[in-house]
């Protein structure tokens, strides 16, 4: 089903593709180390949900992100499902070599479009980061691995404020010209609003129609699903989301919560969009999170149930009706 018939004003793609980032973006900020076997079990459960991509882990220095120090074991331990792309975050050449050796389908490289955010987050200038990432691109020439570059703070930097559209598109162009297949526009700290999402995504798609564009949103100020919908209407097909709404950004104070995978799927399916995700199965996976992590998670459908899950009619209704009729 395409949406063009029902929504004359949207450029919605069909099917919409959901990419799970919880095992990386969510787990990386958990205080307690999640046992490798549990990480693998969760990813294996997610692999059966109809997600297009799963960001399984991050090949960063174990010193920088101890929560994901078991990246090799996780990527080697999961049971891969056909049709699911297993991507991993990679900050540099060393990480790329490890990720390639462990058999990643895709390397997700990351830099910030804000100089201040990049310096604080990656301890390099943007130009230094771009250079490092292009080294990784060169390394993978002739391999089968796919490449994606995530551009952080594409919708605003919490220290600098607005990031010019031209800056974001210029970095995207540089990586696409170097042979990168996908670009992710990241609202790293939840600053985007729906008008802005629509504008930047339309500009991106207009300029790079062949690129694999992903929208990565946070729900920091409650606009997560409104922003996702703006992306859908602008023609974005791929959406990062995090099971249970896990995640945040350790370098951005007050920024908490990626867009929640099950809440996003629930909304899009309720609206009639084609999303090949098994929501009950996804909810079952989300339900395992509080015990796994030792704390509640922000996902709302997990707590309230799906819109279509009706509540039983209370036994008292018969008596209430009889009294009303009396």
Interface positions with a second copy (CB under 8 A): 6-7, 9, 116, 119-120, 123-125, 128, 156, 158-161, 190-196, 219-226, 228-229, 252-256, 260, 263, 266-267, 270-272, 299-301, 303-308, 310-314, 316-317, 320-321, 323-325
Distance CA(2)–CA(142), nearest Å, equals 36
Cβ-in-10-Å burial (0-12, 13-18, 19+) of 20 comes to buried
CB nearer a second copy, residue 22 or residue 182: 22
Task: Name the minimum Å distance from CB 220 to a second copy.
Answer: 5
CB nearer a second copy, residue 134 or residue 226: 226
Distances (CA, A) of 310 to 164, 268, 319: 46, 19, 21
Question: Residue 281 is encoded by which pair of tokens?
Answer: 């199965």
Alpha helices in 78-193 (DSSP H): 93-102, 115-122, 126-139, 165-177
Task: Name the minimum Å distance from CB 191 to a second copy.
Answer: 4
Cβ-in-10-Å burial (0-12, 13-18, 19+) of 307 comes to exposed
Task: Name the minimum Å distance from CB 13 to a second copy.
Answer: 16
| C-alpha 321: how far from chain center | 48
Catalytic residue flag (residue 249): yes
Contacts of 315 (CB under 8 A, 6+ apart): none
Task: Name the minimum Å distance from CB 269 to a second copy.
Answer: 9
Alpha helices in 178-293 (DSSP H): 194-207, 224-234, 261-270, 279-287, 289-293
Task: Name the minimum Å distance from CB 285 to a second copy.
Answer: 18
CB nearer a second copy, residue 140 or residue 220: 220
CA distance from start to end of the chain:
51
CB nearer a second copy, residue 108 or residue 256: 256
Q: Which of 49, 157, 186, 249 is catalytic?
A: 249
Task: Name the minimum Å distance from CB 69 to a second copy.
Answer: 24
CB nearer a second copy, residue 177 or residue 325: 325
Residue 52 has φ and ψ, to the nearest 5°, of: -80, -30
User: Which DSSP symbol is given to 20?
Assistant: E
> Count of CB atoms within 10 A of residue 85's CB?
18
Pairing of strands 106-112, 182-186: unpaired
Distance CA(261)–CA(268), nearest Å, equals 11
Active-site annotation, residues: 249
């Amino acid at each position: 089903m395409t949406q063009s018939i029902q929504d004359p004003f949207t450029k919605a793609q069909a099917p919409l593709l959901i990419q799970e980032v919880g095992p990386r973006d969510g787990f990386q900020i958990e205080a307690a180390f999640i046992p490798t076997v549990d990480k693998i079990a969760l990813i294996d459960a997610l692999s059966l949900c109809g997600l297009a991509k799963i960001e399984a882990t991050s090949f960063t220095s174990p010193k920088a992100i101890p929560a994901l120090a078991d990246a090799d074991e996780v990527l080697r331990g999961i049971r891969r499902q056909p049709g699911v792309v297993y991507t991993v975050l990679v900050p540099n050449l060393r990480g790329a070599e490890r990720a390639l050796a462990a058999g990643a389908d895709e390397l997700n490289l990351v830099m910030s479009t804000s100089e201040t955010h990049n310096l604080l987050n990656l301890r390099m200038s943007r130009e230094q980061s771009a250079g490092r990432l292009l080294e990784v691109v060169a390394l993978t020439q002739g391999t089968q691995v796919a490449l994606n570059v995530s551009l952080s703070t594409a919708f605003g930097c919490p220290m600098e404020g607005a990031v010019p559209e031209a800056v974001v598109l210029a970095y995207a162009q540089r990586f696409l010209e170097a042979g990168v297949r996908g670009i992710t526009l990241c609202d790293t700290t939840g600053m985007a609003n729906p008008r802005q999402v629509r504008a930047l995504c339309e500009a991106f798609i207009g300029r790079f129609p062949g690129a694999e564009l992903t929208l990565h949103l946070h729900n920091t100020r409650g606009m997560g699903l409104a922003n996702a919908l703006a992306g859908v209407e602008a023609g974005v097909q791929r959406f990062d989301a995090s099971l249970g709404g896990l995640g945040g950004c350790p370098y951005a104070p007050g920024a908490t919560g990626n867009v929640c995978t099950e809440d996003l799927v629930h909304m899009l399916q309720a609206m009639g969009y084609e999303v090949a995700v098994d929501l009950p199965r996804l909810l079952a996976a989300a339900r395992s999170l509080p015990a796994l992590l030792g704390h509640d998670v922000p996902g709302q459908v997990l707590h309230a149930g799906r819109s279509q899950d009706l509540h039983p009619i209370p036994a008292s209704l018969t008596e209430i009706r009889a009294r009303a009729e009396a």
